[in-house]
Amino acid sequence: MEGFFTFPSKCILKIYIYFMTNIYATGENMFHVDSIQRKLFLIIGAVILAVSIGLIYKEISGRTDNPLQEAATGEILLQEQQEDEAAETAELTEPEQQETIQIYITGQVKRPGVYTIAPDKRLIDAIELAGGCTPEADLNRINLAARVVDEGMYYVPAAGEEIDPGIPAVQTGGEAGTEKININTADENQLQTLTGIGPAKAQKIIEYREANGGFKSIEEIMNVSGIGEKTFENIKENICVR
């Protein structure tokens, strides 16, 4: 039981024992008291005893409750730690979502159509995705190393075929990919080969030039709704006005 007593409770108990011993002592006592003094000492002793019991009860209760409280707190902290570790594990195991683009490849390929492909791929990768070339394909007239762009259209010509210079990835005049698209004459399909230009924006470009008598400069294309500086920076090297 000694482990349950605090220093104050020990002191009070010693005082109480000291008083009670002297009250009932006989013979050579330190204190010689009459009946009134004896009663007073008894009252004081009772008070001291009550205070001691209260302190002891409080100490025992505190020591009984604290382990439970500490255990509950520990369980909460452990649960939070486990949740954090689970979240970190989920982040590490979650596969990174790679950005993809869509292109249209046609001409002398086995499976012409629209394909989803990574943005760092080349025309040769797109041709392989479309099943490869047909025997009639003339690969000497296209730039197989050209990087594909979102919403782009790529045409693989046949041997001896006349090529529209507005179609990308077609090699003409000994230079690959140098033909610029004339935004005053290009049709919807040709405009869609430009980075960031889809069907809706291509139609708006055509409507704008018809309503305003054509473009006077390539910068004027930014007057078209939906085409801002960012889009213009991506396409300015690939467009011209004639």
What pLDDT digit, counting tens, does each position of 171-220 carry? Answer: 333 334 446 889 998 888 889 888 889 899 999 999 999 999 999 999 99
Give the N- to C-terminal CA distance of the chain in Å, as an integer.
Answer: 104
Strand partners, 107: 156
Predicted local confidence at residue 21, as pLDDT: 63
In which domain, by residue range, is 76 found? 2-93
67 against 158, higher pLDDT: 158
Among all chains, which residue has been given the structure tokens 């991506």?
234
**pLDDT computed for residue 16 by the predictor:** 59
122 and 169 part of one domain: yes
How many domains are there within the chain?
Answer: 3
**Residue 48: pLDDT band by 50, 70, 90 thresholds?**
confident
Q: 95 or 69, which is more confident?
A: 69
| Whether residue 84 sits in one domain with residue 109 | no
Question: 46 falls in which pLDDT band (50, 70, 90)?
Answer: confident
Q: Is 140 helix (H, G, I), strand (E, B) or coil?
A: helix
Note the pLDDT of residue 3. Answer: 47
Q: Which stretch of 55-59, 225-229, 237-241 has the lowest confidence by average pLDDT?
A: 55-59
pLDDT of amino acid 148: 84
Nearest-angstrom CA–CA distance, 76 and 86: 15
pLDDT for res 159: 85
Pick from 56, 42, 43: nearest CA to 13: 56
User: What is the spatial distance between Cα 38 and Cα 48, in angstroms, rounded to a whole number?
Assistant: 15
Last residue of a domain, one of 93, 121, 156: 93
Out of 156, 176, 196, a domain closes at 176
- Report whether 183 contacts 239 (CB < 8 A): yes
Residue 45 dihedral angles phi and psi, to the nearest 5°: -60, -40
**Final residue belonging to a domain, choices 77, 93, 109:** 93
The pLDDT value recorded for residue 38 is 63
8 Å CB contact between 154 and 168: yes
Say whether both 145 and 118 belong to one domain.
yes
Q: What element of type H or E holds 156?
A: strand 153-156
Looking at the fold, whether 101 and 88 belong to one and the same domain comes out as: no
Dihedral over Cα of 150, 153, 158, 163: its sign = negative
pLDDT beyond 60 at 66: no
Residue with tokens 């000994």: 174
> Is 205 within 8 Å of 183 (Cβ atoms)?
yes
